[in-house]
Amino acid sequence: MARRPNNSPQTRKLLSAMLRQPRAWQYGYELSKQTELKSGTLYPLLIRLSDQGFLESQWQEPERPGKPPRHAYKLTLNGLGFAREMAATDTASAVRRKLAGATT
Amino acid sequence: MTARASPLRRLASALIAHAADVLPPLRSPWGEAMKHELDHIEDDVEALKWGVGCVIASYLERGGRGMNQSFGTIVRKPSAFLPLAMSLTALALLGGAYIFALVTGQAGLERQQDEGAIAHLWQLLMAGQLPVLIFFAIKWLPRAPRQTLCVLALQAGAAVAAMAPVYLLNL
């Protein structure tokens, strides 16, 4: 059976991290620290989600002088809906697992 | 005066520069994003890990674009079908020579002392396809490994088919 796109644990981790601050622009390194995803996993995910219209990106001036601008990311409306859907599925699965554990 | 970057930091910068080069032109803003992000990582070891990851990300991204190419698309590339055509031509030469020998009343193909024009043509065709084959493998293996391996297997099959009569008939 073909794997559903955007269904990997890594994608879920990233979407869940972005959902914690849905209105904030977030940077690659910070996202990597929050999700514990290496840059080798994070960037392909960011690129794919951006291609699919779930993420928007923009260059932002650095907070500290002397540093280069940073590429920042935020969920789009579609992305927000998708991330919430994923989070709801995760919660439902966790509840089912707990219930199954309680009955055995 | 700015402090000289540590060797780890320099290595990380070199890795990210390579990662940015590897990315397809359409993705160049992502390469820039990786580069700029490095300057916001304080720890050198973390920076190096970031650099290594970015190289992996870039190769995955470049490979991913190639993965979209089907076997049919890749096999139609000149560097894919030329070796196939050369092997098949070499095989056809042997077949033609065999038929000619039968028509002229000989028992079949026989080894000639001076090897003859057909033997030289066969050798040229078989040896000439090697650089094309190497070029094809270098260019396409990183981009679409599975499809490229299928084409390489096809090319190997055609080459074996062209060589088999030479060895079997001891020509």
pLDDT at B18: 92
Sign of the torsion formed by the C-alpha atoms of B86, B87, B91 and B92: negative
CA B171 to CA B169: how far, in whole Å?
Answer: 5
Q: Is the pLDDT of residue A3 over 60?
A: no
pLDDT tens sequence across B131-171: 999 999 988 887 777 788 889 999 999 999 999 888 887 77
pLDDT tens sequence across B40-90: 999 999 999 999 999 989 888 876 655 556 777 788 889 999 999 999 999
B3 — pLDDT class (breaks 50, 70, 90): low
From B59, which residue of chain A is nearest by alpha-carbon distance? A40
pTM of the model: 0.60
pLDDT over 70 for what percent of chain B? 89
Contact A11, A17 (CB under 8 A): no
B153-168 as b/e: b if 16+ CB within 10 A: ebbeebbeebbebbee
Sign of the torsion formed by the C-alpha atoms of B5, B9, B15 and B16: negative
pLDDT tens sequence across A75-96: 999 999 999 998 888 777 777 7
Mean confidence (pLDDT) of chain A:
87
* B81-101 average pLDDT score: 89
Mind telling me how many Å the CA of A62 is from chain B's nearest CA?
A: 9
Residue to mutate among B42, B54, B62, with most A CBs inside 10 A, is: B54
pLDDT tens sequence across A11-53: 999 999 999 999 999 999 999 999 999 999 999 999 999 999 9
Q: Is the pLDDT of residue B109 over 70?
A: no
The secondary element (H helix, E strand) that includes residue B101 is helix B78-103
CA A71 to CA A26: how far, in whole Å?
Answer: 8
From B19, which residue of chain A is nearest by alpha-carbon distance? A40
pLDDT at A104: 61
Pair of tokens at residue A78: 């579609």
CA B5 to CA B3: how far, in whole Å?
Answer: 6
* B123-138 average pLDDT score: 92
Quick check: B53 and A71 CB within 8 A? no
